[in-house]
A and B are shown apart, each in its own frame.
Chain A
Amino acid sequence: MTSQASAADPPPGRGAGRVPDPDVEAGRLSAVRRYDILDTPPDGAFDRIAALAGRLFDVPVATVTIVDSDRIWFKATHGLEGVKEIGRDPGLCGSAILRDDALVIPDTLHDPVAADNPLVAGEMGVRFYAAAPITTPEGHRLGTVNILDTKPRSITEDDIATLSDLAAIVMDEMELRLSALNALREEQERRTAESLHAERERARAEAERAAREQAEKDKAAIAAFASTLQRTLLPPALPVVPGLELACHYRTASVHDVGGDFYDVFPVDADRWAFFLGDVCGKGPEAATVTALARHTLRAAAQIDPDPVTVLSTLNTVLLTDVAAGSRFCTALFGLLTPHEGGDFTVTVASGGHPSAYHVRPDEGGSVWVKAVRPKGGMLIGAFPEAHFAESTFRLAHGEGLFLYTDGLTEARTAQGAMLGEDGLTGFLHQRTGSLTATALVDDTVTLLDALPEGVGDDVALLTLSVPDFESVPEAGVAATAHTTATPEHFGQE
């Protein structure tokens, strides 16, 4: 049976006019863009479909075309060399794209619209044309699979069905290609993210590795935070400071409530170093945001002017004005270390509402002299515009240490159920018999915490500094260690 359907004689109710409906055309074009196939290089699958169509119908020319806004682009051609695209003239493909079903023109010279098409009227002299639309699952027609001959012919309903099947195969190929493209894009994004991640990981010192592994074990907790945020929460590795021993310890009471303890040690200029330790009030993601903000601000402010009171004032202003901080405050100690020829350090410590640091040295009776470093009048940071901060200066000599902590330590409950408190802490430091090196101070405090029956109820951060004894200073005059422990107590591991 012969089909007499043509662009000049559209089946009723199919909407196959000569001019595309603007809405339909807009949707169609956006689908064409989505499949991202226009102007792509030749592709074996589509070439084989064109060749198959040529052989099946025994026609000299078969093509797979995609219709752009103003042109018909050939994705694949069989028997047609050197043509990449043609204008969107009506009659052949330009009309076929406007129909839901196949367009068959047995003799173009008998079709008033097709007769004027350049392929018909021109050198090529097309007399027979049949096309089936390539239709997306949403109903957008992207283009057509076409067969052309230079002599009139008729085709059967079965042939039309076959041509439609070929168009459906083209659509399947395009779907596969789109999935592959999307998968590739995702893979590329994943790789970019991974390489970025890897770079950051490398920048991180080995001492943090243990902490990260612990954090990664609890996927549920990590899911609560953006991964970037999570990374900023991990305590930094301590640098090596010439002539000074450093140690730190960080443990979270619960991996589900990431707290806001923070600390860092960093160089200010060629000789001087700065250190800080603080605690953001409250818990959770918002507190964590402030933790990151405070850490970055303290570092940046110290590069401009390392005077501890000035640095804390800057942080106060930033926390009051930064919208990300919300109504969040923190307490912090910020110190500046200036080395002397003999190996001693001058330490200037400013306090912003933070519990005292402790200056320790061996006393004559074999125990430890403990002095609170308590600058008078330092206030909570980020709570009041008029807040002021105070600093005090002292000398950290050979064999002496400085002990900084967050209140999770003094609020930990002893076997009697009472909080350890400042008195308990000074008593503990006073009665120590071991050496006063930074590492020993942290290790012994960790042992104390581990022995508490209830563990700690809040995060604990410890930062200690010590100037080695004369006899323990190596000949090179440099003794420095950095020791980081981060223990989410949740896992009950040390």
Chain B
Amino acid sequence: MTDRTLTVEQLIHEDGPVLLTATGELDHHTAPQLTRTLADAPLSPGAPLVIDLSGLTYCDSTGITVLVTTYHRARAAGSSLKLAGLSDSLTRVFQIVGLDQVLSLYPTTEAALAAARH
């Protein structure tokens, strides 16, 4: 049995971007944890939201739902959502559901933060 947990850390950069790091498995059981952190994350035009998913080993449909909901919330607040560091398998999942056509994906957190500051 693999260890199916999720840890979420939040870091607010002084110059604007909010960085969240989600590590582990994002599924039906762990999604509420990310949802709670995201609900508290400040979203404003000057604060793009970057989520580092490089440590995410699994993401099911509930996880996808959380990310899509966050995308809509960020847009409504005039902010933006940038996802960074998707693994090949996660990229594959995103391609299947067509999220790669809508969400801004970056290979690394550094690239996402750079784009956020731009």
* A residues whose Cβ falls under 8 Å from a Cβ of B: 257, 279-283, 327-329, 331, 352-356, 377-380, 383-384, 386-387, 407, 411, 417, 454, 458
Contacts and interface: CB of A to CB of B under 8 A. Distances in A.
Contacts of B101: 377, 379
Contacts of B60: 407, 411, 458
B64 interface: yes
B44 interface: no
B91 interface: no
B69 interface: yes
Contacts of A329: 64-65, 68
Given A377-B98, A379-B102, A387-B98, A282 B62 contact: yes
B53 to A, nearest CB: 17
Q: How large is the interface on B (under 10, 10 to 19, 20 to 34, 35 or more residues)?
A: 10 to 19
Residue from B60, B61, B68, B101 whose CB has the most chain A CB atoms within 10 Å: B61
Interface of B: 1-2, 28, 60-62, 64-65, 68-69, 72, 96-99, 101-102
Contact of B68 (A280, A356, A378, A383): A383
Contacts of A387: 98
B31 to A, nearest CB: 8
A462 B28 CA distance: 21
What 3 A-B pairs come out closest when comparing CB atoms? A379-B98, A353-B97, A281-B61
Main secondary structure of the interface of B (DSSP, over half): helix
B90 to A, nearest CB: 13
Main secondary structure of the interface of A (DSSP, over half): loop
Given A329-B68, A383-B68, A417-B2, A282 B98 contact: no
Nearest to B68: A383
A380 B64 contact: yes
Nearest to B2: A417
Nearest to A352: B98
30 contacts: A280-B61, A281-B61, A281-B64, A282-B61, A283-B62, A327-B65, A327-B68, A327-B69, A328-B65, A329-B68, A331-B96, A353-B96, A353-B99, A355-B96, A356-B96, A377-B98, A377-B101, A378-B98, A379-B97, A379-B99, A380-B64, A380-B97, A383-B68, A383-B102, A386-B102, A407-B61, A411-B60, A417-B1, A417-B2, A458-B60
